[in-house]
Amino acid sequence: MNPTPHKLLCLGPHGFYRLAYRRWEGQGRPVICVHGLSRNGRDFDALAARLAARGPVIVPDMPGRGGSDWLPNKEDYGYPLYLGAVAALIGSIGAAEVDFLGTSMGGLIGMMLAAQPLSPIRRLVINDVGPFLPKPALERIGSYVGQDPDFADIDELEAYMRRVAASFGTLSDGQWREMAEHSKRELPSGRLALHYDPAIGLPFQGSLTDVDLWPVYDRITCPTLVIRGGRSDLLLAETAAEMTRRGPKARLFEVPDAGHAPALLAEDQIEAVANFLGEA
């Protein structure tokens, strides 16, 4: 079944904006999937098609990405607004409980929501992020996120994606091309750009430091699965191991051939998520 596109009117600090999302229909508990910092919801097409066999799957483009509005006040890009957007989305579907999967930024959003009193999140999947974010990894991300390159054609854009997203793991030629197609924004000149507002990179400007979110993680009580790229520089091996001992005592699934962050396109990765969310 093909997903249906929707727009949800949300309120930020400086006015309303429209949050784009796609919904795969299914019978059962809904799953919310939230993408990484510079990505969009199309990253989850293959996973959502599988998960829809057990319930509806709702996949937003976070503000400033994909089909969602760009924010007029660029300083509003940040976790308070993102949390409000996802909370509004959960409220709009009318479900008492949801499962949640987040990659990188989306994983942090899931952690913060799951840590709240009366959280509706029943099961949580965190893809390659954790409660300790090391400064070198944040600096690496800051070195490219928010840049605004343009490309003559889809081949140039795909070559760029293969370079900056090499750590996503082993992808087929078809998967790289599909990722490039979903990452493009057409300019009036006919050239192509990345499908996000470059201002999403503003939080990475200036001096960066290690980030410690252990007090947030320790408040999570729902069953949790952590996926880690074996070569990840954002979710360190020692952090992932500690996540299995603290807070919700997460289950750990490692992807040896990936860094930050596994693309969740390989069959074993999709199966790990589906099996975890399918448990009673």
At residue 86, does pLDDT exceed 60?
A: yes
At residue 146, does pLDDT exceed 80?
A: no
Alpha-carbon span 98 to 222, nearest angstrom: 11
Q: Are 229 and 260 a contacting pair, CB within 8 Å?
A: yes
Give residue-wise pLDDT tens across range 208-237.
Answer: 999 999 999 999 999 999 999 999 999 999
**pLDDT category of residue 143 using cuts at 50, 70 and 90:** confident
Domain layout of the chain by residue ranges? 4-133+209-277, 147-195
Q: Fill in the DSSP letter of residue 145.
A: T
Average pLDDT of the chain is: 96
**pLDDT category of residue 1 using cuts at 50, 70 and 90:** low
Q: Which of 220, 208, 229 is nearest to 138 (CA)?
A: 208
Q: Are 33 and 55 a contacting pair, CB within 8 Å?
A: no
pLDDT at 279: 79
CA distances for 106 relative to 28, 41, 111, 219, angstroms: 22, 10, 9, 18
At residue 280, does pLDDT exceed 60?
A: no
At residue 256, does pLDDT exceed 70?
A: yes
Between vectors from CA 139 to CA 167 and to CA 73, what angle results, nearest 5°? 105
CATH code for the domain defined by 4-133+209-277: 3.40.50.1820
Alpha-carbon span 27 to 67, nearest angstrom: 26
Give residue-wise pLDDT tens across range 62-78.
Answer: 999 999 999 999 999 99
At residue 263, does pLDDT exceed 60?
A: yes
C-alpha R_g of the chain: 18
Q: Are 213 and 242 a contacting pair, CB within 8 Å?
A: no
pLDDT at 45: 97
At residue 152, does pLDDT exceed 60?
A: yes
CA dihedral 20, 26, 32, 36 (to 10 degrees): -70
pLDDT at 69: 98
Q: Is 109 exposed, middle or buried (0-12, 13-18, 19+ CB in 10 A)?
A: buried
Percent of the chain past pLDDT 70, that is, above it, reads 99
Mean pLDDT for the stretch of residues 4-19: 97
